[in-house]
A and B are shown apart, each in its own frame.
Chain A
Amino acid sequence: MPSLLLRPWPWYVAGPLVGLVAVGLLVIGNKQFGLSANLRHVCAALLPGRPAYFRYDWRRAGLWNLVFVLGVVGGGFVGGVLLGNPAPVAITPQAQASLAALGIHQFTGLVPVHLFTWHVLLTVRGLLMFVGGGFLVGFGTAYAGGCTAGHGISGLADLQPASLIAVVSFFAAGALASAFLLPLLVPAVR
């Protein structure tokens, strides 16, 4: 029984549940599923500076979403720590070989243990990867007006052409970056 709880969920369980979360938010309060808007809400709450982009009533527009994202942190603890899968992730052998070529040989946990460390973060490559990557995620999602959730799930499920443009763009850029940029930054691990 415990091992059953620790086992990862298959795509046909995880995917429909994601869809139901998006539907649930609409049913409860006509709220649109999207995570990156929270970055804007936090900026509006902490640094209500001059840009008009941050001058709005963040409580009214975003309190529900900040509460939602607090739940995501809690859910991450439940699913990642309390019910964390002790076995290596079941990615395909081809994916394993592809990542092994990067110097990643440990496949347990949600992130490579030797990569997501403070030690790596404090190297030049680590800084470029984590701080540069984080900055691009924050800038890019604000610019595009959504992320994998807002455009990839809510937008596509609502058949919005704008979301399709965004999704194609971020998948294409992500594929290129994983293939050509990541190998330049990851060797810092070794």
Chain B
Amino acid sequence: MTATAAPVTARHHERLLGAYFALGVLFGIVLTKGELASWFRIQEALRFKGWYLYEVFASAIVVAAPAIAWLKRRSRALTGEPIAIAPKVVGSGARYVAGGIMFGLGWALIGACPGPVFALLGAGVGVMSVVLVAALVGTWVYGWLRPHLPH
């Protein structure tokens, strides 16, 4: 998000929210029909008993990487904003290792990462509402402990 963003009218902005919603619906359908929200598929991948999930990740990146590289060089978003992605600061790497390990443990235990948690809620898996509340509590506790954690 840069300060040079072109002014966006309120109505324009509302229409954009509709576009985000539509992309969300598409992503939710892909998560369920593509079985990325499948507990079975997640465990299959984490137990290295099949390559399905890795094929999905690889093909997603193969499609997105060249498109993102091109967009960053010569495009503006529909809002008029230049397309820019802030580089993530590596630093000591501690937050990526420690945070990644914690997330990975939880990911395997519930067999779902954040996207699938929401998609499974929509698919009627009621227990996921408790998982979601627990995840919110986890993020909230992180917010409190953040000043004391290595990053």
List residues of B whose CB falls within 8 A of some A CB: 1, 16-17, 19-41, 43-44, 46-50, 52, 55-65, 67-68, 71, 75, 77-79, 81-85, 87-90, 93, 95-111, 113-115, 117-128, 130-144, 146, 149
Min Cβ gap A99→B in Å is 6
Among B22, B43, B64, B89, find the residue whose CB has the most chain A CB atoms closer than 10 A.
B64
**Chain A residues whose CB sits within 8 angstroms of the CB of B139 once the complex forms:** 36, 39-40, 43, 138-139, 141-142
Task: Indicate if the CB atoms of A21 and B23 lie closer than 8 Å.
Answer: yes
CB of A117 within 8 Å of the partner chain: yes
Residue of A nearest to B151 (CB): A143
Task: Indicate if the CB atoms of B77 and A27 lie closer than 8 Å.
Answer: yes
* Complexed CA–CA distance, A139 and B107 (Å): 12
Task: Indicate if the CB atoms of B77 and A165 lie closer than 8 Å.
Answer: no
Residues of A in contact with B, size category: 35 or more
Task: Indicate if the CB atoms of A53 and B21 lie closer than 8 Å.
Answer: no
CB of A140 within 8 Å of the partner chain: yes
Task: Indicate if the CB atoms of B142 and A143 lie closer than 8 Å.
Answer: yes
Given known contacts A74-B122, A110-B120, A136-B103, A165 and B96 CB-to-CB distance under 8 angstroms: yes
Chain B binding surface SS class = helix
* Complexed CA–CA distance, A72 and B90 (Å): 30
Min Cβ gap A23→B in Å is 5
Min Cβ gap A4→B in Å is 12
Partner of B83, one of A26, A121, A147, A178: A26
Among B32, B63, B124, find the residue whose CB has the most chain A CB atoms closer than 10 A.
B32
A-B contact count (CB 8 A): 508
Min Cβ gap B136→A in Å is 6
Given known contacts A27-B77, A77-B124, A89-B35, A95 and B60 CB-to-CB distance under 8 angstroms: no
Residue of A nearest to B142 (CB): A142
Task: Indicate if the CB atoms of A43 and B105 lie closer than 8 Å.
Answer: no
* Complexed CA–CA distance, A23 and B99 (Å): 26
Task: Indicate if the CB atoms of B62 and A19 lie closer than 8 Å.
Answer: yes
Instruction: Render A142-177 as a binary contact track against B, CB cut-off 8 A, 1 for contact.
Output: 111101110111111111111101111111111111
Partner of A137, one of B29, B61, B78, B107: B107
Given known contacts A16-B59, A74-B24, A79-B31, A166 and B96 CB-to-CB distance under 8 angstroms: yes
**Chain A residues whose CB sits within 8 angstroms of the CB of B78 once the complex forms:** 27-29
Q: Could you name 29 residue pairs across A and B whose Cβ atoms are closer than 8 Å?
A: A15-B59, A15-B63, A16-B60, A28-B16, A28-B78, A51-B143, A68-B20, A76-B32, A76-B120, A77-B122, A79-B29, A85-B33, A92-B49, A116-B127, A131-B130, A131-B131, A134-B130, A135-B135, A139-B99, A140-B138, A141-B139, A143-B103, A148-B115, A149-B114, A154-B85, A172-B101, A181-B108, A181-B109, A182-B43
Residues from 29 to 60 in A contacting B, C-beta threshold 8 Å: 29-32, 35-36, 38-40, 42-43, 47, 49, 51, 53-54
CB of A8 within 8 Å of the partner chain: yes
* Complexed CA–CA distance, A154 and B43 (Å): 23
Task: Indicate if the CB atoms of B25 and A92 lie closer than 8 Å.
Answer: no
* Complexed CA–CA distance, A116 and B117 (Å): 12
Partner of B100, one of A31, A120, A144, A175: A144
Instruction: Render A120-138 as a binary contact track against B, CB cut-off 8 A, 1 for contact.
Output: 1100000011111111111
